[in-house]
Structure 1
Amino acid sequence: MTEPSPSDAPGGAPAPADEASGDDRFAGLAERPVAEHVQAFEDEHERLKRELGTIDQL
Structure 2
Amino acid sequence: MTEPTRPVPGPPRPGPGPVPADPAAAAAAAGAAFADLDRRPVTEHVAVFEAEHARLQHELGTIDRL
Q: Same fold (TM over 0.5)?
A: yes
Runs of 5+ unmatched residues, structure 2: 1-17
Task: Give, as a single letter, the amino acid of the residue that structure 2 aligns with 1:25.
Answer: A
Q: Which runs of 4+ in 1 moved over 3 A?
A: none
Normalising by the residue count of structure 1, what TM-score does the alignment of the two structures yield?
0.65
Quick check: 26-35 or 40-49, which moved more? Answer: 26-35
**Bigger Rg, structure 1 or 2:** 2
Q: CA RMSD in A?
A: 2.5
CA distance in 2: counterparts of 1:36 and 1:20, whole angstroms: 22
Matches within 5 A, 1:10-21: 12-13=19-20, 14-15=22-23, 17=25, 19=26, 21=28
Sequence identity, in percent? 51
Normalising by the residue count of structure 2, what TM-score does the alignment of the two structures yield?
0.59
CA distance in 1: counterparts of 2:34 and 2:40, whole angstroms: 10
Runs of 5+ unmatched residues, structure 1: 1-10
For this pair of structures, how many residues does the alignment match? 48
Between 1 and 2, higher relative CO (CA 8 Å, sep ≥ 6) is seen in: 2
